[in-house]
Amino acid sequence: MTPLHFNTLALHAGYNPKEHGHAGVPPIYQTAAYIYDDAEYPADLFDLKKFGYIYSRINNPTQDVLEKRITALEGGTAALAVASGQAAQFLAITTLCEAGDNFLASEQLYGGTYHQFSVSFKKFGIEVRFFDPAHPEEILKIADTKTKAIYVESIGNPSGFIPDFDALKILKEKLGVPLIVDNTLCTPALFRPLEVGADIVLYSASKYLGGHGNSIGGIIVDGGKFDFGASDKFPGFTKPSEGYHGIVFSEVFGKNFPLGNIAFAIKARVEGLRDFGPCISPFNAFLFLQGIETLSLRMDRHIENARKLSHFLETHPAVTQVFSAENKNSPLADRAKKYFPNGSTATFSFILKNGKSAGKHFVENVRVAVHENNLGDARTIVTHPASTTHRQLSEEEQVRCGITPGLIRVSTGIEDIRDIIADFEAALV
């Protein structure tokens, strides 16, 4: 059989009804634990000699279908579904870094990510070193032997910045570290980071993957290409694991593992998820599976609407600048066309001429769009980042993330765009 296409995989990948009572839709396995027939079977599971269900903090059949589905959509070797996008970042970084290590991150990030990296990781002795993604070559000046990863968002939230993935690929190879890409704003329907050199892909599934603003979750995808055993840079992979009976992850689950190199995903699950515990609920895993079924359809409409809305805003006298790669005259239009030929994202931002007061007036006066600090919902959402998503950042940090007082972020929904444009027209001053 020829390989299935993306839209078919979105409905079928990772699910065999015969393994689930012939249910037409992946069932919600609302269980904490699993009943064993004998004593040997769980012993083999705990020793990782066999794969099966141990306890729903570590894995669960509904979660498993979601993980297999997203693995197929991304072209990776394995995935891990977790409690939130923040949890996905946390597990990804702490699987790679130990106290004393550092990682390099683009400064154009979602505010919560920026804060997690710059403030909370410090408590674990893990240092983030930010770089300006417009100058990726800076990476070589700030990296050292303790650098364990490069981290970017495929499209910065909310700055809209698109990194030069070709340059990042060369740089990460030079440093011998994995490239992690948070692909939340694009989704695999529009962009597959593994195809341009990423090694690990992260999602806040709470956004477009779920698509209906009803649940929080995160995903980590292991691309299976990074050989953690190639050097002694990652002792957590090449030395016997203290947390797992002396197993050497890169030897057992690395490039010679029959199911593909899943060393990163398995370590993140059996050490990270097991010990820190940010597991996804089976119900949320089910909702994300539902969302993914219509992902392409929704993204097509999101993009079509975003193009119309950003063109409208570009010519509006109350607006000084629109940061959308969907606009032909965006400085990032060529890069967007290269990496995102089918559209980049429907989340973009714009600056109001009359600054903070106009921003406040706008978010308080939209009637169809909703004023929230979420994105990726079927409904159009407007956000004032300076007072919400990036509020915990200092003014200087806000500027680094591309946040100014009059900046509005819009997550364009799938409504009739004429109603959204009329709504914006009435609220802009």
Ligand X SMILES: Cc1ncc(COP(=O)(O)O)c(C=O)c1O
Does 26 bind ligand X (CB under 6 A)? Our answer is no
Does 236 bind ligand X (CB under 6 A)? Our answer is no
**From candidates 163, 178, 210, 218, binder to ligand X by CB under 6 A:** 218
Does 153 bind ligand X (CB under 6 A)? Our answer is yes
- The least distance separating ligand X from the CB of residue 186, rounded to whole angstroms, comes to 10
- The least distance separating ligand X from the CB of residue 320, rounded to whole angstroms, comes to 24
Binding segment (CB under 6 A) for ligand X, from list 66-74, 83-91, 391-399, 403-411? 83-91
Specify the residue, 205 or 369, whose C-beta has the smaller distance to ligand X. Answer: 205
Does 84 bind ligand X (CB under 6 A)? Our answer is yes
| Nearest residue to ligand X, by Cβ distance, number only | 85
- The least distance separating ligand X from the CB of residue 108, rounded to whole angstroms, comes to 10
Instruction: Using CB under 6 A, count the residues that bind ligand X.
Output: 15
- The least distance separating ligand X from the CB of residue 3, rounded to whole angstroms, comes to 29
Specify the residue, 375 or 420, whose C-beta has the smaller distance to ligand X. Answer: 375
Contact 343, 314 (CB under 8 A): no
**From candidates 53, 90, 103, 110, binder to ligand X by CB under 6 A:** 110
- The least distance separating ligand X from the CB of residue 363, rounded to whole angstroms, comes to 17
Q: Between 333 and 362, how does the x/- string for binding to ligand X read (CB under 6 A)?
A: ------------------------------
> Token pair for residue 395?
């003014």
**From candidates 94, 106, 147, 204, binder to ligand X by CB under 6 A:** 204
- The least distance separating ligand X from the CB of residue 403, rounded to whole angstroms, comes to 13
Specify the residue, 16 or 120, whose C-beta has the smaller distance to ligand X. Answer: 120
Instruction: Specify the residue for token string 């159009």.
Output: 380
- The least distance separating ligand X from the CB of residue 74, rounded to whole angstroms, comes to 16
Binding segment (CB under 6 A) for ligand X, from list 79-87, 96-104, 191-199, 294-302? 79-87
Specify the residue, 9 or 105, whose C-beta has the smaller distance to ligand X. Answer: 105
Specify the residue, 7 or 116, whose C-beta has the smaller distance to ligand X. Answer: 116
Query: Given the rule CB under 6 A, which residues bind ligand X?
Result: 84-86, 110, 112-113, 153, 157, 182, 184-185, 204, 206, 216, 218
